[in-house]
Amino acid sequence: MYPNGLSDGTCLVRYDNEKGKGDHKHIRDKQEPYKFTTLKKLMEDFLADVAKGKEGR
């Protein structure tokens, strides 16, 4: 298993709140803003993005 993405280092899904950028997410090589509301919603959104990634979308 590759906890940080694929064996070549590619990030599949990552959510973060980097200083200066605020809340955002990374889906493969794309980055987009993310509006944090609740921990429950964050987990739902993250797991949905992981499922999409497994399907290759």
Q: What is the pLDDT of residues 7-36, one digit of tens each?
A: 676 778 999 998 999 999 998 889 999 999
Task: Look at residue 2 and tell me whether its pLDDT is greater than 70.
Answer: no
The answer to whether residue 6 sits within a structural domain is: no
| Whether the predicted model's global pTM rises above the 0.85 cut | no
The answer to whether residue 5 sits within a structural domain is: no
E-strand ranges in the chain read 13-16, 24-27, 30-33
The answer to whether residue 21 sits within a structural domain is: yes
The answer to whether residue 45 sits within a structural domain is: yes
CA-to-CA dists, residue 36 to 1, 39, 40, 43, angstroms: 28, 8, 10, 10
Sheet of 24-27, strands arranged across? 13-16, 24-27, 30-33
Indicate the number of domains in the chain.
1
